[in-house]
Amino acid sequence: MDLIHKFLNLVAPSFTFFSFVFLLPPIYFFNFFLSILRSVFSENLAGKVVVITGASSGIGEHLAYEYGRRGARLALTARREKSLQEIADRARDLGSPDVIVIRADVSKVDDCRRLVEETVNHFGRLDHLVNNAGINTVCMFEDAPPDMSLFRAIMDTNFWGSVYTTRFAVPHLKTSKGKIVVMSSAASWMNDPRTSVYNASKAALTAFFDTLRIELGSEVKITIVTPGFIESEITQGKFLQRDGNMEVQQDMRDVQVSSIPVGSASGCAQAIVNSASKGDRYLTQPSWFRVTYLWKLFFPELVEWSYRLSHFSRPGAPHQQAPSKKILDFTGLKNVVYPSSIQSPEIKTD
């Protein structure tokens, strides 16, 4: 057995190198050709039934407007019902023929079952499931409460919420040859400090839905979205606290986001709906953020050093003194790289 592994240690790298050299150009050309075909024959969404989780703010809210504009019928879900009703009204004004609102907490398996059942009972079918609901917490691993409740809450919403809802939606999506959109994150590879469990939840989503794509084959297409920074309540600084409440911490947001440009939620939603309609496997938005994957792949040490140098203040100093925030404050870049919507600490309440 050892001999086989020694042989593979020698052969596998060179085989891979030559395969890359020969296969990359034709595969890139083929994919380019396919993407043109997919754009031409992109799905017409008029009358299609779309469930969006986490539709009460941010990217999910703008997905409701974008799907609505294209004539899709919508089931909007989240916990803040009043916000959902207002968004439903606007989606109708923009062109959606029918919108229902379902109050649901995706961290609860029964709510996920109910939101799919209510949608199918009302519309008779399901074409797109958008797993968008998500929360973030900003906390060093060693500072987390020892019972791990803070970290489990992130996994329960971000990972399990998407998995539960998908479990109940798949039979209906198979019937309609439908699609799943999954909101992962560039944080699944750019592992910024203080968000270890958020980053892990997003990496878990990517691994889970990449596997599910193989299991479901062509019956249900899956688009995994990996946004960089996009305007929303999360980039306003809304983070889950140790006591289980959500609180806006804009200082901490400044440390984490620093002077990286934040993309618009409407542009992100438009790109997501385009990608899902074409049946793309992956989408990163803003698209320039894709280069960060290469930095992480080829220079992981450099990425780690940058985070350590920029995101931490001197021992004993408050986090507001981290270089990442000082650069933002000193240059006045906040007004340039942050949309005005995320400069205010006001978030919607129900």
Ligand X SMILES: NC(=O)c1ccc[n+]([C@@H]2O[C@H](COP(=O)([O-])OP(=O)(O)OC[C@H]3O[C@@H](n4cnc5c(N)ncnc54)[C@H](OP(=O)(O)O)[C@@H]3O)[C@@H](O)[C@H]2O)c1
Q: Say if CB 151 and CB 144 are below 8 A apart.
A: yes
DSSP label at 321? G
DSSP label at 225? E
Least distance to ligand X from the beta carbon of 217, Å?
Answer: 26
Per CB under 6 A, the segment of 90-98, 143-151, 225-233, 288-296 that binds ligand X is 225-233
Q: Which of residues 21-60 bind ligand X (CB under 6 A)?
A: 53-60
Per CB under 6 A, does 229 bind ligand X?
yes
To the query of whether residue 282 is one of the catalytic residues in this protein, the response is: no
Cα distances from 63 to residues 28, 54, 274, 313, 339, in angstroms, run 30, 10, 11, 37, 18
Per CB under 6 A, the segment of 2-10, 74-82, 93-101, 294-302 that binds ligand X is 74-82
Per CB under 6 A, the segment of 91-99, 122-130, 231-239, 290-298 that binds ligand X is 231-239
Closest CA to 221 of 13, 43, 11, 32: 43
Per CB under 6 A, the segment of 24-32, 233-241, 274-282, 296-304 that binds ligand X is 233-241
Contacts of 141 (CB under 8 A, 6+ apart): 196
Active-site position among 65, 67, 164, 198: 198
The torsion of the CA quartet 173, 214, 107, 117, rounded to 10 degrees, works out to 10
Per CB under 6 A, does 134 bind ligand X?
yes
Structure tokens at 239: 């983070």
Q: Residues 96, 119, 137, 157: which binds ligand X (CB under 6 A)? A: 157
Q: How many CB atoms lie within 10 A of CB 85?
A: 14
Rg of the chain (C-alpha set): 21
Per CB under 6 A, does 75 bind ligand X?
no
Per CB under 6 A, does 105 bind ligand X?
yes
Per CB under 6 A, does 90 bind ligand X?
no
Per CB under 6 A, does 78 bind ligand X?
yes
Per CB under 6 A, does 178 bind ligand X?
no
Per CB under 6 A, does 285 bind ligand X?
no
How buried is residue 221: exposed, middle or buried, by Cβ count under 10 Å (0-12/13-18/19+)?
buried
Helix, coil or strand: residue 177 = coil
Q: How many CB atoms lie within 10 A of CB 22?
A: 10
Q: Residues 69, 80, 290, 296: which binds ligand X (CB under 6 A)? A: 80
| Footprint of ligand X (CB under 6 A) | 53-60, 78-80, 104-107, 132-135, 157, 183, 185, 227, 229-230, 232-235, 238
The residues annotated with a catalytic role in the active site are 198
